[in-house]
Structures are given as C-alpha cells and as structure tokens.
Structure 1
Amino acid sequence: MKITKFFSKSKNSEFQELNKFVTKKFSYKPKDIQLFATAFTHKSYSNSRENVESNERLEYLGDTVIDLIVAQYLFEKFPEEDEGYLTKVKSKIVNRKMLASIGGEIGLVDHLRYRTGRSIKIETIEGNALEAIIGAMYLDSNFEKTKAVFEKCIIKRYINFTVVLEQEIDFKSQLLIWGQKNKFNISFEIIDDASKENNFIYTAIVIVNENKWGQGKGTSKKEAEQQASNETMTLLGLQ
C-alpha cells in the first residue's frame, strides 16, 4: 500500500498550500489551518500515524451543520411548500451521493490524506471530507458565516434545482431492491395511525430481518413509508 498525501514539504508550506486551496474553492480564509488539515485526513491515514486525528468528528459535526443550512435554505426558497415536500427535496441534496459528487468537482481528492486500498472508495471519502470541511469552518468561524459560504460556493455553484426537482426518488423501491439483492427480508409497519390527536400524521417503521431501522412520518401511509425507507438507507450507508 502507498500513502497518498499533500504534506510533502515543510509544515509551513504544506499549510500554505492547503490554505490557498480552501480560500480559492470556498472563498474562506482559515484562521486555524490545523482544523482544516484534520478535515482532509481520512482515518486510514491517521491510524498509521501517531498524534494524527482523523476527520470523523468534524464529519459528524459538518453533517449536522449542512443539514440545518439546507433545511433553512429550502424553507426560505419554497415558502408555499409543506414539510413533506421540503423533506423530499432536502433528501436529494443532503445525501452521500450528492456530497461525493460535489467533493469530486471541487477536487478534494488531490489534497486528501488517505491510505489506498481495496476498501477505500474515493467518492465516499470526498463526500465525508466535504462534511468535515464544513464542520471545521463552523468551528473556525460561526454558523452564519458557514451558511453564507455553503450557499454561495456549494448550493449556487453545484446544485441545479431544475434537475433536482425533476428527479423522482422512490426510496422504498430502492430499499426493497437492495433487500432482494442481499437476501434481506424487508417489511413496513405503521406504528401510529393518522388521527386528530397527532394531526392526522402516520408513522411508519422499516423492519429488516426482524430488526427495527428507520422511522418516517407523513400525511399518508405511502409518504411515511418513503421517509422511513430514506432514513433506513442513510443508516445503512446506502446513500
């Protein structure tokens, strides 16, 4: 195995190179460049080095920040649409496939530190690194600054809403196809019927081989099952 790395010269020049990349691609000048160095470090690299932290914690934080940014952006962009519509559109933007695609277009792989191997999927670590970068930016500044950067440099540059809104994502069908291929028994259960007490909202849960997974809500059983399927696919790492 070989080590892929962007740290090839002195530490100062390495940080300068990374600083230039982040400034150019995100229109953001880091205050604490070490945060961003960590954001570009995959666990396959950090596991082979002492005192080197992976980007997993920043990825976790960035995932939450991105989710909130996109939720607020869509809330303001589509003032007439209901919760189900907004959730559906958000799920098309905040998913591993979309983030990996954006990470690839930005060219994150050229600056990532990772250890090559059969189990490493470049598109996956690019998407994770993008989340980690947003997490680092949030810690380095604040939510409003990060939101402004994400909207300007990610949403407006890389997300075509015309295409996104035309896409029809049937999460339930995708999940059932995955189950058939892998010989998993997948079923759906409505655990809360629509009633006046719960604002006529159904709650569905996905059961995979007798184990409960994702849960979803909707004004119809179909919508609730779709949302539960979407959450299950996320939990299983399928999107």
Structure 2
Amino acid sequence: MSTQRKVAIITGASQGIGAGLVKAFLDRDYRVVANSRSIQPSNNPDVLTVAGDISDRSVAERIVKEAVARFGRVDTLVNNAGIFTAKPFTAFTVEDYAQNLAVNLNGFFHVTQFAIAEMEKQGSGHVVSITTTLAEYAIDGVPSVLASLTKGGLNAATKSLAIEYAKRGIRVNAVAPGVIKTPMHGPETHAALASLHPVGRMGEISDIVGGVLYLESAGFVTGEILHVDGGQIAGH
C-alpha cells in the first residue's frame, strides 16, 4: 500500500471530540487509526480501529505498530483520551486518583513515546494533546484538582517535548478547551456551563476540531497551548 498519504492516530475516538476529529482528518485525506476502549471495527478502508485502554502500555504499542503495519507511517498523534472527575479535593478516592493518572498521564506517556519513535524515523511529525484551561485558570465552584494535576502536566510536557524535538522535525502542541457540548453534559446543565465562559456559550466539538486542524497546518507553531475556551483564559 502507498505510504504517501498522511496518517493520524486519535485516542478517545469513539464519540464526542474524538469522533469529530476522525471525520475531520478523513476529510483532509488522512488515513486514521482510531482508539478507544469500546471502539467498533470500521468498514472504511482508510480507518483502522484498535480497541483497548490507552493506559495499558501494550495497547499503546499495538496502536502504533498496527498503524505502521497497515499504513506505513505515523504523521500525527492526537492525545484526546481523557477523564474529568469533579469532586471536592477531600472527596477524591485513591481509585479516582489512580484512574485520572492512568488515563490522562500514563496514556499520554505510552502512546506518545511509541509515536515519536516512529516520527523520528521519517524526520517529521506532530503531537497534539487535548488539555484544559482549568489547569491554568481555576474557576470557583468547579472543583478540578485532578484535572489540573494531570492536564497541567500535559501542558508542561508539551513545551518540554516541543523544545526537545524542534530540530528533529517534530512539533508538539496542545489545545486547552473550555466546557464543550458533548454527550457527557446533559441538556439541563448547559445554561450553567455556558455561564462559565465570557462569550456566554459552551464550546462545540467543531471549535476544538478547528483548533487541532489549525495546529496541524501551522508549521511554524510548536510548544503552543492553544486556548479554545470562550475567553476563560483571559478572565471572568
């Protein structure tokens, strides 16, 4: 099979932002490797699905190995898989802590390590992680310590990796969303969540997809935390 078309790996790809990203990259004529714990096989020859928990290193390794075996290369990795647990700090359980670190940090570490190793071979690549503005701008009434701990770590790692690989043709960026209208937020919560943003609305999946696609095409941008958050980062 020809390896000239670009290949994107997207984690957390079965619904919400991840599913939107899969469609967007296909529309840009990429081949896509889509992962989530429950993802189903695809009939599209340009989509390879790999089911499994991204926090499991063997799953991360399989995603990248199967991408190379099927499509011959890895150009882009979007670290979209993540969880958000909103509880008062003292209410977090040891299990909450372990799960947040496993998905948000371990998952990032494992798959990014394998993907960058492939990108180095071709001298080019792009890693984008979905984080959160809450890591830099906490909001009263939105308890978010584990999100800040883990996604804030991804923001810092993004800058570190961007510098480490800048001269090797690999860019590393992040998109920091506000609250996005996805199935995880019931309609009854939308008005309250909209009020958290200076622009007065929740974000749409298309807003985050647009941010990722901008970074994908912006060859002179690396180490950037792109805030797609309705103005949250500016103040409230």
TM-score by length of 2: 0.26
The structure that is strand-richer by fraction is: 2
TM-score by length of 1: 0.26
Look at both structures and tell me which one has the larger radius of gyration over its CA atoms.
1
